[in-house]
C-alpha cells in the first residue's frame, strides 16, 4: 500500500494509476498523456516494463 505521506519518485516496478501525482509523474517520464498511461495499464497491467513496451508500439 502506498504511503501517501511520501511523495517521492514513483515505484520503479509498478504504476499506480489511482494516485494522481504518480500518474502525472509517469506521464511525464514517458512523455505521454495521463490518458495514454491509463490505456497502457488497462491493456498490459501495472508492471513498468510492460507499459514501456506497450508505449513503444
Whole-angstrom Cα distance, residue 6 to residue 39?
A: 26
pTM of the model: 0.80
pLDDT of residue 23: 93
pLDDT of residue 12: 83
* pLDDT over 80 (residue 16): yes
Amino acid at each position: 500500500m502506498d504511503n501517501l505521506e511520501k511523495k517521492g519518485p514513483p515505484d520503479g516496478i509498478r504504476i499506480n494509476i489511482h494516485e494522481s501525482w504518480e500518474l502525472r509523474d509517469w506521464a511525464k517520464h514517458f512523455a505521454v498523456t495521463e490518458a495514454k498511461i491509463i490505456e497502457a495499464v488497462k491493456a498490459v497491467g501495472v508492471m513498468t516494463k510492460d507499459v514501456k513496451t506497450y508505449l513503444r508500439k
